Structure 1
Amino acid sequence: MDTMRERFAPVVSRILDEDPRVAVVLAEIGKDGFAEARRRHPHRVINVGIREQLLIGAGAGLALTGLRPVVHTFASFLVERPFEQLKLDLGHQDAGAVLVSAAASFDWPAGGYTHMAPGDVALLDTLDGWTVHVPGHPDEAETLLRHAVAAGDDKVYVRLSVQANRQAHAVDGARALTVREGRRGVVVAVGPMLDAVLDATEGLDTTVLYMTTVRPFDAAALRRATGAAGTDVVLVEPYLAGTSTAAAGEALADVPHRVLGLGVGRRELRRYGTVAEHVAAHGLDAGALQKRIGDFVAGA
């Protein structure tokens, strides 16, 4: 199976052929994947070099001319380094763009902490009007990329990862899916966390909701699920733990509830290791999740 990022350039290259309004802006990273597209569309595939603030500024400028920019680099360079440009060049100017990241929270451990961005979604949460997609499979990434490009002039973030579930689901860019029904609590699995959550909750009488679009948060789906399964909610997210606890709490504000946010911890892991080792160190493997979810639900 190809990775989400391997799917990204071919899909967006086809979109460039189909839609003359679309442009791609790169900061050196990923340029080889667009070499052929750049030959076909030299004025709509732009590489600004290793200048991430300019990356966002150029994307915003293209948006203000009426184009639909797709802007790509590693998450730490796309959200964290040029955050002021996200806030002002896009947000303050009310300009839209599709930001597509790679490397996720720790997809390239050998790159060190400079190439890790577990806080990217939480940081975007401080800004208004962003849609955030977190696909869990390359097929879902393709679907959500097309949704993002077609979303008028909205500000959209698509978070790609090397971690992926075994199978794709029919995502629509808005609603959560009920993957398993139970009567003792609801576990919300975000993107590539679904397989681990399903393995961890095997034998537990819990509902599992699958979210690949986390902003706007599907409050209606959570309320429906808790109506049948009770109001204990566990959020399992592939980025900073607790990122969506406020959104879940707001969805259930009128009923007594408990929310547990699981995800990447704040403590920096200072050894490179592997992706699997980072997953385990943050307690996001199936075995650790089984205990953490089971203890929480049992303590109701």
Structure 2
Amino acid sequence: MDTMRERFASVTSRLLDEDPRLAVVLAEIGKDGFTDAAQRHPERVVNVGIREQLLVGVGGGLALTGLRPIMHTFASFLVERPFEQVKLDFGHQGVGGVLVSAGGSYDWPSGGFTHMAPGDVGLLDTLDGWTVHVPGHPDEAEILLRQAAAAGDDKVYVRLSVQANEAPRPVDGARFRTLREGRQGVVVAVGPMLDPVLAATEGLDVTVLYATTVRPFDAETLRAATGAAGEADVVTVEPYHAGTSTRFVNEALLDRSHRVLGLGVSRQELRRYGQLDEHLAGHGLDPHSLRERITGFLGR
């Protein structure tokens, strides 16, 4: 199976052939995936070098000319480092574009904390109007990338990761998908957290919702899953900072008695970088740890 990032390069290269409005902006990282596309469309594949603020600035400028820019690099260099440009060159200017990240929260542990971005979605939550997709499989990433490219002038962030679920699920770029139904609580698994959540909740009387589009937050499906009466218990399991979506759960259930447990990446930096699976365990996101935390919460 190819990775989400490999799928991004192949799909976007084809989209450049199909849609003359699209342009790709790179900051050195990922350029090899667009070698052929750059030869075919030299005016619409731009590599600005290791200048991430310029990456977003150029994307904003292209958007002002009527193009649909797709900007790509590691999440820490795409959202965190050039955040001012994201805020001003897109939000303030009132134009749209597509940010496509790689690296996730800790996909490349040996790269160190400079290449980790567990706060990216929370940072975008401070801005208005961003759609955020978090696919859990390359097939899902392709569908969401195609939607993002064709999404008029919307502002879209597509968060790619080397973490992936074994099998894809149908995605529509809007709604959560109900994979299990139960009576003792609701667990919302985001993107690549689905397989660990399914393993952790095996045999438990809980509803499992699968979220690949987290902004806008699908309050309607969550409300339906919690039922109309009684106290609702909700657990969110996200591949970025723990509790990032807690506010949205609270808003969705404002008129109901409820409790929320937000699981995800902790704020504490793990300085012994190790391997990806060690980071998952270190943040309590492996199936064993998730089961203990979920059952402890639901056991009241």
- Short-chain TM bin: over 0.9
Partner SS state of residue 227, structure 2: helix
Structure 2 letter corresponding to 1:91: G
How far is 1:34 from its partner?
0.1
**1:41 lines up with 2:41 in the alignment:** yes
* 1-structure distance, mates of 2:219, 2:159: 21
Aligned 8 A contact 1:237 1:263 in 2: yes
**How many pairs does the alignment contain?**
299
1:237 aligned partner = 238
Counterpart mapping for 1:204-223 below 5 A? 204-223=204-223
1:79 aligned partner = 79
1:177 aligned partner = 177
Partner SS state of residue 56, structure 1: helix
Structure 1 letter corresponding to 2:120: D
Structure 2 letter corresponding to 1:159: R
2:253 aligned partner = 252
How far is 1:289 from its partner?
0.2
How far is 1:203 from its partner?
1.0
Counterpart mapping for 1:153-172 below 5 A? 153-172=153-172
**1:297 lines up with 2:274 in the alignment:** no
Aligned 8 A contact 1:184 1:230 in 2: no
**1:266 lines up with 2:271 in the alignment:** no
Aligned 8 A contact 1:186 1:230 in 2: no
* 1-structure distance, mates of 2:33, 2:183: 47
Deviations along 1:127-184, whole A, 9 cap, x unmatched?
Answer: 0000000000000000000011111101000000000001000100000000000011
Aligned 8 A contact 1:38 1:44 in 2: yes
* 1-structure distance, mates of 2:191, 2:136: 4
Partner SS state of residue 188, structure 1: strand
How far is 1:99 from its partner?
0.2
* 2-structure distance, mates of 1:250, 1:105: 26
Counterpart mapping for 1:82-231 below 5 A? 82-227=82-227, 231=232
| TM-score, length-scaled by structure 1 | 0.99
Deviations along 1:231-258, whole A, 9 cap, x unmatched?
Answer: 1000000000000000000000001100
* 2-structure distance, mates of 1:273, 1:129: 36
Any stretches of 5+ residues in structure 1 without a counterpart?
Answer: none
How far is 1:230 from its partner?
5.3
Deviations along 1:54-107, whole A, 9 cap, x unmatched?
Answer: 000000000010000000000000000000001111110011110000000000
Partner SS state of residue 277, structure 1: helix
Structure 1 letter corresponding to 2:254: A
1:8 aligned partner = 8
Aligned 8 A contact 2:231 2:256 in 1: no
Structure 2 letter corresponding to 1:127: L
| TM-score, length-scaled by structure 2 | 0.99
* 1-structure distance, mates of 2:70, 2:89: 15
Any stretches of 5+ residues in structure 2 without a counterpart?
Answer: none
Partner SS state of residue 6, structure 1: helix
Q: Percent identity?
A: 75
* 1-structure distance, mates of 2:9, 2:207: 36
How far is 1:6 from its partner?
1.1
Partner SS state of residue 34, structure 2: helix
Partner SS state of residue 234, structure 1: strand
Aligned 8 A contact 1:56 1:86 in 2: yes
**1:285 lines up with 2:283 in the alignment:** no
Runs of 4+ in 1 over 6 A off after TM superposition: none
* 1-structure distance, mates of 2:68, 2:223: 35
Q: RMSD between aligned alpha carbons?
A: 0.8
Aligned 8 A contact 1:26 1:49 in 2: yes
**1:53 lines up with 2:15 in the alignment:** no
Task: Identify the range of structure 1 (186-195 vs 223-232) with the bigger mean alpha-carbon deviation.
Answer: 223-232
* 2-structure distance, mates of 1:234, 1:203: 16
1:65 aligned partner = 65
How far is 1:272 from its partner?
1.6
Aligned 8 A contact 2:4 2:141 in 1: yes
Aligned 8 A contact 2:98 2:149 in 1: yes
Aligned 8 A contact 1:95 1:155 in 2: yes
Structure 1 letter corresponding to 2:107: D
* 1-structure distance, mates of 2:49, 2:2: 27
* 2-structure distance, mates of 1:59, 1:231: 43
Structure 1 letter corresponding to 2:274: G
